[in-house]
Structure 1
């Protein structure tokens, strides 16, 4: 009798349970692309080194869609000098904090998609993957740049992140 009563109760609850939304931890949408960029309007009289930039392009609303052809504006962009590999690079991303990336020298020979390093933006943790080929048209300081993504660093935070 108890088993039958339990089955009746379970049968009554199943429709409600199956239509309930699953409980999922909310992850951060924050993404940082470590990029090398060339000014798109550099003509034959332009020295590409004068208009190139190496930067951390921070997007707070999610990743840039693969194959994007329209110029996108990052939430923040922080310029750095030199290479990403072989040291910990720090760059201020406005009021969002300081982004620190550690990419070892061995990352230069990694395959696309391999985990090659880690980073933080304030206290938020990120993991960095080798890219080396994805192109992002980026707007910065009123100009359009063609950027190659050296490394992509998505947040791995699953807590409350603004």
Structure 2
């Protein structure tokens, strides 16, 4: 009887909650995309596949990118991963994200075979924690050193720091 009354009360409140308008998100808007970026055109005219591929962490301080956008996205910072054919999986990686600090990420060794949306690892930017999800399909465009690239997101890492209040300059 009490359970039925509670269920009825909840059912009557849900429509008013849904119509009350969007709630302000709590916490940080910070997002890091672990990406592979291919040049839209070969900068030297004739290139081998992968010759100018950039593997990087694209940091967006003010919220996630709009998926599928054709306009150029401008990351707050782009930290390139060095080495020959670098990969994110199976080893702790660090990349410098300009003046925002160093992003440290741990992507599981078997994460490359995970399904989109699966938790693949975690990361941190200073003391701010991030969780990383397998992606593989989200694309966006950037400009790097004057050349335009199309980036494919291998992993998306949103901040999970609910205690972070964006600076007033970032608030709507």
TM-score normalized by the length of structure 2: 0.76
Match of 1:134 in 2: 138
Which structure shows the higher strand fraction?
Answer: 1
- Give structure 1 regions of 4+ aligned residues with deviation exceeding 3 angstroms: 21-25
Is 1:69 the counterpart of 2:90? The answer is no
Unaligned runs of 5+ in 1: 1-17
Unaligned runs of 5+ in 2: 1-16, 168-172
Q: CA deviation at 1:161?
A: 4.3
CA distance in structure 2 between the partners assigned to 1:55 and 1:22 by the alignment? 33
Q: How does 1:30-109 map to 2 (within 5 A)?
A: 30-42=30-42, 45-81=46-82, 82-109=86-113
The question of whether the paired residues in 2 share the 8 Å contact of 1:38 and 1:48 is answered with: no
CA distance in structure 2 between the partners assigned to 1:24 and 1:149 by the alignment? 27
Is 1:124 the counterpart of 2:128? The answer is yes
TM-score normalized by the length of structure 1: 0.81
Query: 114-123 or 132-141, which moves further after superposition?
Result: 132-141
Q: CA deviation at 1:24?
A: 6.1
| SS of residue matched to 1:50 | coil
Q: CA deviation at 1:48?
A: 3.3
The question of whether the paired residues in 2 share the 8 Å contact of 1:25 and 1:158 is answered with: no
Larger radius of gyration: 1
